[in-house]
C-alpha cells in the first residue's frame, strides 16, 4: 500500500508540472493584462485584472509614474453607459471598477479632462479544461476514493477478495491518470472562451505605415505624432495589434544627434490609428522607430521622421563612451547602488535601446536577469545591478539609452558605443 501512495505523490507532481498556462497571442486567461500608455501628459501602466466570473466586476488599476501631471480620467466600456472616474494626483496605483457581462473582445475608453481620448482593446476570457485535465484529475480523485474504500474494507471485511476489487479499481484509475498526465504535453491546450481565434493559415502580412504630425513641429510646443497602419494585403486599417512587451506600440523618438530621446507608448484613437503627444527641445530632424505585433504574427518595426523648427531650448548632455568590437558579444553593466528596490517596467528590470548614427539600425535589449511573468510594477524588489548583452553587426558609432524604474520614476541613462572592426 505504501508503494501506491508513493505513486500517487509522483502523479500529483507530474500534474502540477504539466498544467499549462493557457494564453492567446500575448493575452492570457490566467493572468492580468498589462498595457503601458502615454496619456494625458502621464506615463501610465493600465492593469486590467483577470475576470473571475462573467457577468462580474472588471477591476482596473492605473499605475502612474513620476512625474505626475495631475488630471482626472473618465473610464468606460464601449456599449456600456456606466463610467468610473480616476483622479491622478500622485505616483502609484489608482483603481477603477466597471462591469462586464460577456466574454470576448471589449474596448476600454479613456477620456482625460483635457479632451484627449483613447480606446484600448482587450479580451475577457474564461478558462476551459484541456481534454487531458478532467481525465487526469478525475482519475486521481477516483484513485483516492477507491484506495480509501480498500483500506476501510481491509479493516472490516472477512474475505480478501472483497478488498481486491476496490484496490484493482484504484490501480486502473491511477493508470488512466498517469497516462493522461504523460500525454498532456502532446495535447494542445484548450482555447479559453472569449480568446482571440487562432488563424490556421498562419501569420498575417506586415502592415504599411505612415508617420505624420498634426501640425508643423516647433520646439517647446506640443504636437501630436500620428501613425496610420494598414494591412499589407487589403489596405484596410490594421486593428489587430496585441500587447507586445506590455504596450500596443513602443514609439522611440530621437534627434539625429542623439541628444533627444523619448520612449513612449502610443494611444489607439481609432482602428489603425495610433498617436502620442510630444514636445521637442531642438530644431532639426527627428527619427521615429515604432515596434508592435499583430495577431498570429511576429513583431514588426516601422520607421519615419519629421523636421522641427524653432530655437534650441535644452543644453546637450555628456554621454559615457564605451568600446566594442563588431561581431563579438558585448556586455554593458550598470551598478545603480542601494538596496534591491528596482521595480519592473514593461515586464523587465531594465531596457537598452540602441540606434546607429543614421537611424538605419535599431535595437531593443532586455536586462539579462530572470523575471517573474507579468511582474507587478508596484513591487520594488529587483537587484540594483543591470546587465545587457548585445552583438553589434557593423562598425560605427551607436547611441544607447538604458532605462529602469525606481520609486515609480523611470530613469534614462544615455551612452555612446564606438564599435570598431575586428
The DSSP element (H or E) to which 150 belongs, if any, is: helix 132-156
- CATH code: domain of residue 231: 2.60.40.1930
DSSP 135: H
Residue 221: the pLDDT is 97
- CATH code: domain of residue 40: 2.60.40.2550
268/275 Cα distance (integer angstroms): 7
411, part of any domain? yes
422/395 Cα distance (integer angstroms): 9
* pTM for the full predicted model: 0.80
| Same-domain pairing of 230 and 178 | no
Residue 329: the pLDDT is 94
31/29 Cα distance (integer angstroms): 6
Count of domains forming the chain: 4
Burial of 80 (0-12, 13-18, 19+ CB in 10 A): middle
| Same-domain pairing of 210 and 308 | yes
387/329 Cα distance (integer angstroms): 13
Residue 7: the pLDDT is 46
256/278 Cα distance (integer angstroms): 16
Residue 390: the pLDDT is 94
- CATH code: domain of residue 397: 2.60.40.10
| Same-domain pairing of 311 and 391 | no
Q: Which three cell numbers stand for residue 403?
A: 532605462
| Same-domain pairing of 341 and 421 | yes
Residue 155: the pLDDT is 63
**How many Å from the N-terminal Cα to the C-terminal Cα in the chain?**
68
- Domain assignment of residue 85, given as a range: 31-124
| Same-domain pairing of 348 and 252 | no
Instruction: Catalogue the E-assigned strands of 65-206.
Output: 71-77, 83-88, 92-100, 104-112, 117-124
DSSP 364: E
Task: Say if residues 254 and 356 touch (Cβ distance below 8 Å).
Answer: no
| Same-domain pairing of 337 and 387 | yes
26, part of any domain? no
Residue 52: the pLDDT is 85
The DSSP element (H or E) to which 343 belongs, if any, is: strand 342-343
Residue 298: the pLDDT is 80
Strand pairing category for 351-356 and 299-308: unpaired
CA torsion, ordered 39, 241, 403, 376, to nearest 10 deg: 80
Strand pairing category for 396-406 and 342-343: antiparallel
| Same-domain pairing of 158 and 295 | no
Scanning the structure block, which residue is given the C-alpha cell 575586428? 422
When computed from its CA atoms, the radius of gyration of the chain, rounded to whole angstroms, is 27
Residue 144, phi then psi, degrees to nearest 5: -60, -40
| Same-domain pairing of 304 and 244 | yes
- Give me the sign of the Cα torsion angle 51, 251, 282, 66: positive
Regions of the chain with pLDDT less than 50: 1, 4-5, 7-26
| Same-domain pairing of 310 and 322 | no
Sheet with 42-48, strands from edge to edge, namely 33-39, 42-48, 56-64, 92-100
| Same-domain pairing of 149 and 231 | no
Cα–Cα distance list, 163 to 147, 159, 234, 250 (Å): 10, 7, 69, 66
- Among 291, 315, 339, the domain-final residue is 315
Judged by DSSP in three states, 402 sits in strand
Residue 4: the pLDDT is 47
196, part of any domain? no
Amino acid at each position: 500500500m505504501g508503494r501506491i501512495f508513493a505513486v500517487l505523490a509522483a502523479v500529483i507532481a507530474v500534474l502540477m508540472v504539466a498544467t499549462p498556462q493557457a494564453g492567446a497571442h500575448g493575452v492570457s486567461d490566467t493572468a492580468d493584462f498589462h498595457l503601458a500608455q502615454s496619456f494625458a501628459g502621464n506615463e501610465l501602466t493600465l492593469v486590467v485584472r483577470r475576470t473571475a466570473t462573467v457577468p462580474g466586476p472588471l477591476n482596473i488599476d492605473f499605475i502612474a509614474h513620476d512625474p505626475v501631471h495631475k488630471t482626472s480620467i473618465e473610464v468606460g466600456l464601449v456599449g456600456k453607459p456606466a463610467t468610473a472616474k480616476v483622479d491622478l494626483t500622485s505616483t502609484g496605483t489608482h483603481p477603477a471598477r466597471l462591469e462586464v457581462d460577456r466574454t470576448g473582445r471589449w474596448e476600454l475608453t479613456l477620456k482625460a479632462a483635457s479632451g484627449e481620448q483613447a480606446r484600448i482593446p482587450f479580451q475577457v476570457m474564461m478558462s476551459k479544461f484541456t481534454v487531458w485535465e478532467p481525465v487526469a484529475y478525475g482519475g486521481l480523485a477516483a484513485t483516492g476514493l477507491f484506495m480509501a474504500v480498500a483500506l476501510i474494507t481491509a479493516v472490516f471485511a472477512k474475505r480478501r477478495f472483497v478488498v481486491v476489487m476496490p484496490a484493482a479499481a484504484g490501480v486502473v484509475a491511477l493508470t488512466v491518470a498517469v497516462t493522461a498526465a504523460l500525454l498532456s504535453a502532446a495535447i494542445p491546450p484548450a482555447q479559453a472562451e472569449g480568446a482571440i481565434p487562432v488563424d490556421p493559415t498562419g501569420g498575417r502580412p506586415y502592415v504599411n505605415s505612415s508617420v505624420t504630425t498634426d501640425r508643423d513641429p516647433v520646439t517647446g510646443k506640443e504636437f501630436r505624432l500620428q501613425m496610420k497602419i494598414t494591412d499589407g494585403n487589403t489596405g484596410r486599417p490594421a486593428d489587430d495589434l496585441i500587447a507586445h512587451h506590455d504596450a500596443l506600440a513602443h514609439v522611440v523618438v530621437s534627434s539625429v544627434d542623439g541628444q533627444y530621446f523619448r520612449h513612449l507608448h502610443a494611444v489607439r484613437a481609432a482602428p489603425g490609428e495610433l498617436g502620442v503627444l510630444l514636445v521637442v527641445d531642438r530644431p532639426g530632424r527627428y527619427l521615429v522607430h515604432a515596434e508592435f505585433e499583430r495577431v498570429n504574427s511576429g513583431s514588426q518595426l516601422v520607421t519615419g521622421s519629421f523636421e522641427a523648427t524653432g530655437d534650441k531650448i535644452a543644453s546637450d548632455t555628456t554621454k559615457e563612451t564605451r568600446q566594442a568590437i563588431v561581431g563579438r558579444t558585448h556586455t554593458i553593466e550598470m551598478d545603480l547602488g542601494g538596496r534591491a528596490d528596482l521595480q519592473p517596467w514593461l515586464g523587465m528590470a531594465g531596457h537598452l535601446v540602441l540606434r546607429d548614427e543614421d537611424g538605419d539600425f535599431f535595437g531593443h535589449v532586455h536586462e539579462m536577469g530572470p523575471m517573474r511573468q507579468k511582474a507587478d510594477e508596484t513591487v520594488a524588489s529587483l537587484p540594483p545591478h543591470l546587465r545587457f548583452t548585445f552583438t553589434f553587426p557593423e562598425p560605427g558609432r551607436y547611441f544607447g539609452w538604458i532605462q529602469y524604474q525606481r520609486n515609480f520614476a523611470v530613469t534614462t541613462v544615455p551612452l555612446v558605443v564606438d564599435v570598431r572592426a575586428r
